[in-house]
Amino acid sequence: MKVKVELYGASRDLSEKNFIEFNFDRKSSIKDLKKKILNYVDSNFKGNDNFKKIIESSAFCSEDDNIVSDNYEISKDQKIGIIPPIGGG
Amino acid sequence: MLHAKVIDLEKEKIKPENAEEFIASSKFGASIVFYGTVRNNNENKKVTGITYDAHDVMVVKSFKEIYSETDQKLNIKDKSVFIEHVKGYVGLGEISIIIAVACPHRAEAYTLSRFIIEEIKKRSPIWKKEHYENEDSEWLKGNPIQAN
């Protein structure tokens, strides 16, 4: 199944597009998705520490725009938003 | 009464007159309009502008939740609130957020205005990328959002 991770704030620096796509071959969770994104940073940005910190301190939101926990189940194609630490206003 | 919106600067402008018009009512004796604007200095760096990013749906949702909480937490029931935050590039001195409130009395209007901006800072998924005179730019560190 395919997960499209929509990028916001500092995570936008992870790609020139507004998203990154990952494939999962079995039921997974946000925890698994985080690992995939960290591996993506290792492969594409030589393990850039700043990017890793951003991912580790980010929340994630579901397609229905709710913040979800690390155990949130990913069992079908969907969009997940990455929500880095916030600070607008 | 609430108006809550994210203004995409590529499509439209943020207009103070809309805020004043929205909260105008003869039943309210106190109005406060708060403008957040871009200043020219942050942590000894010369700032030339800020690019704001936002998760529009979640931002509006957070504005609605904050508005609703002012009923229970502040016990301010009779009020009019206008909140708009921009996304996109904002130059020095330009407006990034407008919070306009109107209440029957000044004490509750001040409390309401302050409460709303402080909660937005803590909860609304909005991000700032500062641009500097030396042409560098960086995303500002913020506060992590926790899952419930």
Residue A18 lies in domain: 2-83
Q: Is A44 part of any domain?
A: yes
Q: Taking 90 as the threshold, does the pLDDT of residue B39 lie above it? A: yes
Burial class (CB within 10 angstroms; exposed 0-12, middle 13-18, buried 19+) of B94: middle
Residues paired with residue B3 on neighbouring β-strands, in sequence order:
B82
In-domain check, residue A54: yes
- The CATH number, out of the four listed (3.40.190.150, 3.90.1170.40, 1.10.3720.10, 3.40.50.2300), of the domain defined by the range B2-134: 3.90.1170.40
CB contact under 8 A, B145 and A88: no
The answer to whether residue A60 sits within a structural domain is yes
Q: Is residue A45 part of a domain?
A: yes
**What ipTM was assigned to the predicted interfaces of this complex?**
0.92
Structural contact between residues A85 and B145, judged by C-beta atoms closer than 8 angstroms: yes
Indicate whether A88 belongs to any domain: no
Q: Which helix (H) or strand (E) holds B148?
A: none
pTM of this structure: 0.94
Q: Which residue of A has its CA nearest to B56?
A: A65
Of A65, A81, A85, nearest to B142 by CB-CB distance is: A85
- Give the number of domains in chain A: 1
pLDDT of residue B71 exceeding 70, the answer is yes
Helices (H), chain B: 16-23, 56-72, 106-123
Q: Please tell me which of the candidates B123, B125, B140 has its beta carbon nearest to residue A8.
A: B125
- Contacts A18 to B, Cβ<8 Å: none
In a domain, A16, yes or no: yes
Give domain limits for chain B: 2-134
Flag whether pLDDT at B26 surpasses 80: yes
Q: Is residue A89 part of a domain?
A: no
Task: Tell me what the pLDDT averaged over chain B comes to.
Answer: 95
A23, part of any domain: yes
